[in-house]
Amino acid sequence: MDYLRDSILATLAYYDIFDFPLTLLELHKYLINPGRVAKLTMEGVGEIKLADIQSELEYLAESGRVQTKNGFYFLLSGRALFGTRIIREKIFAQKRSMLVNLCRYFAFVPYIRGIWVSGSMATANTTADSDFDLMVVARAGRLYTARMLLSLTASVLRSRRKRYEESAPDKFCFNHYLADNALEIRHRSLYTAQAYINLKPLINRENLSDKFFSANSWLYKFVIHGAAGDILTRGLKPSHLAELIAKTGERVLGGFLGDMLEHVFKKYQQKRIKENPMTYETGGRVVFSDNELEFHPRSFEAVVIQRYNHRLEMLGILAPAREADSGLLT
């Protein structure tokens, strides 16, 4: 199946940008929809099994287009990637315990419905300088209150990345907030699709992972399997004390008092966002609304998409259209 072969090569090419060789299971999960590299519909692709991918990988390895070592697959340009991945997984293992232990305190914060780790910590592709990128889901109508309380908690723990820090190893970077009644992502691209299917839950109340992926079926247009059959993990189970304190806080901050604080926090935070020059930098995106806060002022997305398109050309893959970014400032 030529379309599957090209899809495998495209997926390896994408992760090659991140110096990240893939296992067979990872290729199956992250597989770029063949319809993006060939003129096919979802119906025309049919089911793609692990055995199908394994068969195509064997052919690609025999033909010299793909290399394999210890169960990892990569393009010829990635001969050194195997060693790099092993080193980064060891760094990840060291950072993971710190991440989990600190995140337990976030379960005490009112209005938090979910916290997912993203970025390099979500894929275990971690360097010593890696921070902890988090996506947060908060109760609708309390987005700005939740952000304020979460930021204060991280500051008390001395683990919050500050605005102008170029590098902040082992610090929390809360770069995306969603309201729990608005889980559908509006900014869509191959880059964001791959990022979201890699999310790993730390706090996952009310089956939020299932709700998130149900609300974002567009992911399968980019990544054919996505999270199907693999809705991540349950995440941390908040302690009874954490649940009690969080719920008590929500009751205290309910009604008129909570509405007033939300208004004050929203006005204060939006003022700071609007006055920050980074909000308007090209090549990134900053969003602030009642249902979403996103802070990616200096995104790597455009570079990744450009390199990916170039790699497809080098591989001789004639995609129906070039991939585009998700709507960054220009």
Tens digit of pLDDT for each residue in 123-164? Answer: 999 999 999 999 999 999 999 999 999 999 999 999 988 776
Contact 104, 90 (CB under 8 A): no
pLDDT(229) > 50: no
In this prediction, residue 294 has a pLDDT band, given cuts at 50, 70 and 90, of very high
Task: Identify which has the larger pLDDT, 134 or 41.
Answer: 134
End-to-end CA distance of the chain: 39
pLDDT(19) > 70: yes
What is the enclosing helix (H) or strand (E) of 75?
A: strand 72-75
Pairing mode, strands 200-204 and 172-179? unpaired
In this prediction, residue 235 has a pLDDT band, given cuts at 50, 70 and 90, of low
What is the tens place of the pLDDT at every residue in 20-38? 999 999 999 999 999 999 8
**Rounded CA gap, 145 and 71, in Å?**
46
| Dihedral of the alpha carbons of 139, 143, 144, 146, in degrees to the nearest 10 | 40
**Rounded CA gap, 88 and 158, in Å?**
25
Domains, the chain, ordered by start: 2-79+302-315 (1.10.10.10), 89-299 (no CATH)
Q: 300 is written with which tokens? A: 């790597």
- What pTM did the predictor assign? 0.94
What is the widest separation between alpha-carbon atoms in the chain?
A: 69
